[in-house]
Amino acid sequence: MTDYSDLIQPDKGQDARPIHLVDKKSYDEWLKGRNPRERAHLAAVGFKPDAFVHAILPGDDPDKWAVVTTVANVDSLSAWCLAKLGQILPEGRYRVEGRQPGKALFGWMSAQYRFDTYKSKPPVKGPRVLLTTDVGSIAPMVAEMHATALVRDLVNTPAADMGPAAIEKAAERIAKAHGGKLTVTKGEALEQGYPMIHAVGRAAAKHHAPRLIEIEWGKDSHPRIALVGKGISFDSGGLDIKPAAGMRLMKKDMGGAAHVLALAELVMASGLPVRLHCLVAAAENAISGDAFRPGDVLKSRLGLTVEIGNTDAEGRLVLGDALTRAGEARPELIVDFATLTGAARVALGPDLPPLFANDDALADAMLAGGIERDDPLWRMPLWDGYADLLETDIADLGNAGSSPFAGSITAALFLKRFVPEGVAWAHLDTFAWRPSAKPGRPKGGAALGLRAAWAMLQARYNRRGKN
């Protein structure tokens, strides 16, 4: 695993190739300050200050070249302004001329992420190191990059190697590293205490048996928060089997679990003054003679009965039991992550997770965190007018809406039934995947909403901890 702390280093005046940042407004003035050879070179290569365009500026010595790159606004760098350079430049040290890289430090590191565990001869490329005099920003940014890489690694790992037991191992590592207490419920105790998690996972092979994984950390005197993740290690759709195209990416259906484990590690590693309760409902939605069926009625941990309209709407079932468990400890805040609905992708596409929240201040803080970290979210309505779509003739509610419309909203309304009254709650229907690459954001497993949620938690609890 890459040690991202090697990629960002304090600037102590060591040799480094300069990176000049320009935008459309500043380019002409910057160009006037270059020597005739550089101006001639830029004219020869047809350099224009368009987005993500860069050029190499030759120096007097063959190894003394520099880089010029265009950004949208030199006075307001995004996380992704330097990502393309971080990906394609040769190994070596670099510094941004005349300004701090700021948020662009993250994209520089993110561009150097690789998942090559299964390659017999992984490509080798030395590190591209970026220098900064803002030394205090290095450790927090590196921590966020390690969390992002953890999400990517967990999601990218094939389901055969990332079943419920492997998810438990990841949680065990995090708990041990930071003094957390790990509790795992499985077998008969799971069947009795968390019947919906058990029902979803009972058809899987024994080595992929379902379980509820919990990490608790922090002082009892601190405000209690819960992070809840959907950990469906592979989703065949169950007896309502998915088509082949729909099943191809279902190793990513534990993306919610990956997000909350990474977020929990950020909380613990930073010493955020909270009482953390992290819960992962881990199961494989497989097919066998013991698979749960359409038309079955399941009893939840909360006591509500749920009629199964579709076995491919299993994520909300496991989350229902996990949310109930989280609520029993009466936290002041619950945040859940889940790769829950295809309807969310139809509404907002792969890059923009829908945010549902029962608390306006919490929603505003999440949205603000997304803007601040360049990890955007979009608030969707928890509109109770659609609650009747979850009604069923023989049980308290159904797991699949009776209409093809508003699928992400009805799924969120289902979850809301398992959240205690008076507890602030946010639900992110994340995709956890990028279908195509962008600078600093490779194709494959993706942390979408992670940094927004972390920014919210920092703003909410670091401030309170100082009072």
Q: Report the catalytic residues.
A: 242, 316
Question: How is residue 349 written in tokens?
Answer: 């596409």
Cβ atoms of residues 93 and 6 within 8 Å: no
Cβ atoms of residues 278 and 367 within 8 Å: no
Residue 283: φ, ψ to 5°: -160, 155
Q: How far is CA 45 from CA 21, 42, 70, 71, 143, in A?
A: 18, 5, 15, 18, 39
Cβ atoms of residues 286 and 202 within 8 Å: no
Cβ atoms of residues 284 and 233 within 8 Å: yes
Cβ atoms of residues 363 and 428 within 8 Å: no
Q: How many residues does the chain have?
A: 467
Instruction: Report the chain's C-alpha Rg in angstroms.
Output: 24
Residue 217: φ, ψ to 5°: -155, 150
Q: Which helix (H) or strand (E) holds 262?
A: helix 255-270
How many whole angstroms separate alpha carbon 327 and alpha carbon 280? Answer: 14
Question: How is residue 48 written in tokens?
Answer: 């224009």
Handedness of CA 355, 359, 360, 362 (dihedral sign): negative
How many whole angstroms separate alpha carbon 322 and alpha carbon 256? Answer: 13
How many whole angstroms separate alpha carbon 58 and alpha carbon 61? Answer: 8
Residue 185 identity (one-letter amino acid): T
Question: Measuring CA to CA, which residue among 434, 444, 433 is closest to residue 116?
Answer: 444
Longest dimension (CA), the chain: 82
Cβ atoms of residues 253 and 235 within 8 Å: yes
Exposed (0-12), middle (13-18) or buried (19+): which is 276, by Cβ within 10 Å?
buried
Angle at 219 between CA 217 and CA 220, to 5 degrees: 105
